[in-house]
Amino acid sequence: MDCYALIGHPVEHSHSPFIHAEFARQTRQALSYRAMLAPLDGFPNAVRMFRAAGGRGANVTVPFKLEAYSLATCLTERAKLAGAVNTLTFTDEAIVGDNTDGIGLVRDLAINLSCPLAARHVLLLGAGGAARGVLFPLLQTRPASLMLANRSIGRARELHAAFAPHVGQTAFAAGGFQDIGGRKFDAVINATSASLANESIPLPDSVFAPDALAYDMMYGAGDTPFMAWARKTGAARIQDGLGMLVEQAAESFALWRGMRPDSAPVLSMLRGKQQASHR
């Protein structure tokens, strides 16, 4: 049986083993997928041992996405641009590093939420690993404008410089939260970790255009502080990042197995579990 794993620290609450088990059942693939806790100073060793024991591939999560980038002997174009790796594929000769987070977000927006970004005005909050991973796929959807706003303005400007060659016709700007001013956006995507710390982001109340989507990459039992704020401020649609999680997993599965699973029933099962735990 082909073996896959999620390697991270922590990993015990991850939905990924459930998601990949459902994908395998659905596509009748004989494979195993487990969560593997690696010591904080032991990621390369954990990967080597898993590969030596016959592992065929791995997802990588916090805090190892940059180490996975360095460990890969071969990188896809989107992983190079992201500067981080969340999917490793082991071949006889190589450790191939890819990043499926960005395509996961774009597919969740376009397919699950029927919210394509072409010709729309998009605000992306954050300039950490998640923001970096989704920037290129977001620009590829050809929004009319994309503004990147981050607490530390210098990090937003660094990303702006790195991605400026890939903007095409999109008006691309970067700055701090105070630079948002009175602009309105069709989609506001929270790629900061503020919600993890139960913190709010200082955004103007006027940021949402009519019918705008507020999207938090974080997911959990209830509203995040960003989602609660968006609800109060009048965003038409409010969504967490569970769909992104399932879609990035589907993309990894497709890379490994050469077939794309149907993500919709798996997302709906997870939504059911989420609602049950919220009650």
Question: Which residues are designated catalytic?
Answer: 65
Taking CB under 6 A as the criterion, the residue among 191, 213, 230, 267 binding ligand NDP is 191
Nearer residue to ligand NDP within complex by CB, 13 or 279: 13
Q: Which is nearer to ligand NDP, 8 or 129 (CB)?
A: 129
Of 191, 183, 164, 171, the closest CA to residue 109 belongs to 191
DSSP state of 90: E
- The set of residues, in sequence order, having a beta carbon less than 8 Å from that of 117 and lying 6+ positions away, is 106, 109, 110, 138, 141, 142, 143, 186, 187
**What is the total count of residues that contact ligand NDP (CB under 6 A)?**
28
Min dist CB 184 to ligand NDP, Å, is 20
Query: Interaction with ligand NDP in 10-49: which residues (CB under 6 A)?
Result: none
Residue 151 touching ligand NDP (CB under 6 A): yes
Query: Coil, strand or helix: which one is 68?
Result: helix
Q: Which stretch binds ligand NDP (CB under 6 A): 75-83, 116-124, 216-224, 254-262?
A: 216-224
Bond into 202 cis (ω within 30):
no
Residue 174 binds ligand NDP (CB under 6 A): no
Collapsing DSSP to helix, strand or coil, 132 comes out as helix
Asked if 129 interacts with ligand NDP (CB under 6 A), we say yes
Distance between CA atoms of 123 and 121, rounded to whole angstroms? Answer: 7
Both tokens of residue 144? 């009319």
Sorted by sequence, the CB contacts under 8 Å of residue 279 that are 6+ apart come out as none
157 binds ligand NDP (CB under 6 A): no
Considering only 27, 32, 193, 233, the residue that binds ligand NDP (CB under 6 A) is: 193
Asked if 124 is part of the footprint of ligand NDP (rule: CB under 6 A), the reply reads no
Which residues sit at the interface with ligand NDP, rule CB under 6 A? 101, 104, 126-131, 150-152, 155, 191-197, 199, 201, 217-219, 241, 244-245, 248
